[in-house]
Amino acid sequence: MRALARLPSVWAAAGCGSFCAAQEAQPPEWDFAATGYYYVLSDESDYLLAIATARRGRLHLEARYNYEAADTGALFAGWTFAGGDAVSYELTPILGTLLGDEDGLVPGLEASIEYGIVDLYIEAEYVHDLDEEEDSFTYAWSELGFRALPRWRVGIAGQRLREHDSERDTQRGLFAQFTAGAFTYGAFLFNPDSDDDRFAVVQFGAEF
């Protein structure tokens, strides 16, 4: 889950005159992140899904591979809106294009809400296939997480995807993540109650 943007600092709340004016005049710095998800499937070939993001202020840039379709990349640009106090939120509408085996336009939304130790994260998009309109589809990934311990996040996840065959339209599962500094390690188990549709996902991410 991407970190939530926070409210202005105590400097802004207290009023810091010329110091704050100088700080605000400086352009925001770039923040980068990269995450890989390795899908371990029982009846099909395993594959790696990769996501890289670059953020500067509200500007959000993102690149993906094997996300919307196999052997296909995607490039996105978006703008982030964030706020809240006891309940903090972050909304990022995005628009992208597919590159590779598939051609298409992809409008979407990335959203997160956090309250105490509970958070909800959602990625949703519509892939409009430019070659065959009947191949257009909707994709979604969601996580409901709990941070009972400082470095640990556990919860439930769901997704709709078409990278591999399944009798289920929506995949449901459990996950656990551990964060150490700039690195995040995670494991997901989808459809744990089904011998035919069960599969695992191993995650590794870094921020820099």
Per-residue confidence at 116, pLDDT binned at 50, 70, 90?
Answer: very high
Average pLDDT over residues 22-44: 85
Per-residue confidence at 60, pLDDT binned at 50, 70, 90?
Answer: very high
Task: Flag whether pLDDT at 94 surpasses 70.
Answer: yes
Q: Which residues contact 65 (CB under 8 A, 6 or more apart)?
A: 49, 50, 72, 73, 74
- Mean pLDDT, the chain, integer: 86
Residue with the two structure tokens 């997480």: 145
Task: Flag whether pLDDT at 35 surpasses 50.
Answer: yes
Q: Look at 4-18, 74-88, 125-139, 189-203 and tell me which has the smallest mean pLDDT.
A: 4-18
CA distance 68 to 188: 19
Task: Flag whether pLDDT at 103 surpasses 80.
Answer: yes
Domain spanning 29-207 has what CATH number?
2.40.160.40
